[in-house]
Amino acid sequence: MTRKEFAAFIAPCVVLTATLLVAPVIYTVYLSFHHLSFGGHPQFVGWTNYQVLLGDDQVRGALIFTLAFVLLSLPVHTILGLALALMLERVGDRLRGLLISAYAMPFIVTPVVGTLVFSWLFKDFWGIVPYLLDKVNVHILWFAQPWAAQTMVILWGIWWTFGFNVMVLYAGLQTLPDDHVRAAVVDGASYWQRLRYIILPHLMPFVLLISLFNVIDGFRVFDSIWVMTKGGPGTATESIGYLTYRVSFVLRQLGKGSALAVLSIVGTFLLISPLLVARFRGQERD
């Protein structure tokens, strides 16, 4: 293939990517330096939007909750996904197929439907979780108490994500060379020794990959919070994504909402940078 043929081949993809991704980002950065409301004209205000947002307690609260959502749920559903992927290796084929179908269900169903079903588990008076807790004299108003609502959203994040982790890590286990495992067994290595020195190092690139996706998904979570709590009670479960929506389309402050979106992009990039560096270093060693 000549260079001209290659350029003609990829040109539609480049144009489509530039139209749907690059251009909106550039326009969002442009709007972030302006004051704009629906029906109005952009008025240049410089760094004012960023200064206001960085000094806003509500923005800090949304950032703290978003970071808590990502950093608390990430290790839990990663470890859970790893444990279940290892379990799939040790069960029969029929049971394995049934379990894989069950694990995949949370991220196969429509997110809104899945979120509704999950939130119904915590509904007062008729949810299964309050019913079971009442049996041991524990009474929690999951949608009225800030800490309870935040816990529920974090539990949803674990439930929604662990199935994807299981699928990726189980696929990674299928690429593990049998010769290494057999050699370790011949040398008398126990299962935990094989897990520590052979299986886990082999799965580290896959763990970095799912961590990368999960951090990105955690920072852009919006629809499920809107369905479950609408950011409440008060602003206890407002994520950066939900706050961006509320500032832009409820308060109709498009300039400030654009600045918040830019800050979200920068924050996400800073958070995933160590994962990207570790991933690329791993590829270089391979």
Instruction: Locate 81 and state its tokens.
Output: 């996904």
Is 2 part of a structural domain of the chain? no
Q: Note the pLDDT tens digit of each residue in 13-50.
A: 888 888 888 888 999 999 999 998 887 888 999 999 99
DSSP helix/strand/coil, 151: helix
CA distances from residue 24 to 13, 20, 30, 256 in whole angstroms, order as listed: 16, 7, 10, 16
pLDDT at 78: 92
Is 268 part of a structural domain of the chain? yes
Is 254 part of a structural domain of the chain? no
Domain extent at residue 81: 55-224+262-285
pLDDT at 257: 94
Is 155 part of a structural domain of the chain? yes
Is 73 part of a structural domain of the chain? yes
Give the CATH number for residue 104.
1.10.3720.10
Separation CA 56–CA 85 (nearest Å): 43
Instruction: Assess whether pLDDT exceeds 60 at residue 269.
Output: yes
Is 253 part of a structural domain of the chain? no
pLDDT at 65: 95
pLDDT at 39: 77
Give 275 or 174, the one with higher predicted confidence. Answer: 174
Q: For the chain, how many structural domains are there in total?
A: 1
Is 65 part of a structural domain of the chain? yes
CA distances from residue 119 to 115, 163, 234, 236 in whole angstroms, order as listed: 6, 18, 18, 16
pLDDT at 129: 93
Q: How many helices (H) and strands (E) does the chain have?
A: 14, 2
Q: Note the pLDDT tens digit of each residue in 97-125.
A: 899 888 888 878 888 888 999 999 999 88
Task: Please tell me the pTM assigned to this model.
Answer: 0.88
pLDDT at 275: 80
What sign results for the dihedral spanned by CA atoms 241, 242, 245, 246? Answer: negative
pLDDT at 285: 59
| 249 within 8 A of 208, measured Cβ to Cβ | no
pLDDT at 226: 92
Q: Note the pLDDT tens digit of each residue in 177-231.
A: 888 888 888 888 888 998 999 999 999 989 998 998 888 888 888 988 999 999 9
Is 45 part of a structural domain of the chain? no
Indicate the pLDDT class of residue 246, thresholds 50, 70 and 90. very high
Instruction: Assess whether pLDDT exceeds 60 at residue 286.
Output: no
Indicate the pLDDT class of residue 283, thresholds 50, 70 and 90. low
Instruction: Assess whether pLDDT exceeds 60 at residue 63.
Output: yes
In percent, the amount of the chain with pLDDT more than 90 equals 51
